[in-house]
Amino acid sequence: MSEDIVLASASPRRKELLSQIGIGCHILPVDIDESPLSDEPPTDYVRRLATQKAQRCLQILPAELSAMAVLGADTIVELEGELLGKPQDAAHACEMLTRLSGKTHFVHTAVAVCFCDETHVSLSSSRVQFGDVSEQQIMAYIDSGEPMDKAGAYAIQGGAAAFIRHIDGSFSSVMGLPLYETAQLLSRCGIDIQHNNKNDELA
């Protein structure tokens, strides 16, 4: 698969999701200050971070990649108005999962694409309902190591699928990249998703 864009993230899940729709990418992760602003709504927060990641990546692009679209994304879990990012340690992951047990929360993922001196941003928000999760289940899940680099301390595509009673929204967005919104943004940059997939099928 040829590289069509630059991905401003080291997330293997986002690379995998892009591959699912026939998009290859160069990986160029960036570091930005992810501290929320005072009284910043969760949806504004993820939009801002996705945009800053893409724009920061654009600033450090090597010359041979300068003509490519740059994609940044950010995902956050919102529970009762509070942001849940990645857990700091196992105890923090346990606290998050215990709070999520038996409750409905939101997962917000924003995706930003920089191309030809323009930045376009799209947001996907999903409602996720956890069933009641026992302490034993939580500890076993934490022992697997899976929660430690995930917003909200869980991966919907992994072992935490057994905790989720219902989802209203985009599965890929909860994973970390809303594919419908991403495809729409990339099409504005002249990247034809259907054409790429057809090429993969013929290869």
DSSP 65-119: GTTSEEEEEEEEEEETTEEE-S-SSHHHHHHHHHHHTT-EEEEEEEEEEEETTEE
What element of type H or E holds 182?
helix 179-187
Read off the pLDDT of residues 92-140 as tens digits, 9 standing for 90 and up: 999 999 999 999 999 999 999 999 999 999 999 999 999 999 999 999 9
- Catalytically annotated residues: 74
Range of the domain at 73: 3-202
| CB-CB contact of 52 with 36 (8 Å) | no
Q: Is the pTM of this model over 0.85?
A: yes
Q: 64-105 pLDDT, tens per residue?
A: 999 999 999 999 999 999 999 999 999 999 999 999 999 999
CA distances from 95 to 42, 74, 159 (A): 20, 22, 17
Q: Which CATH number belongs to the domain containing residue 107 in this structure?
A: 3.90.950.10
Number of domains in the chain: 1
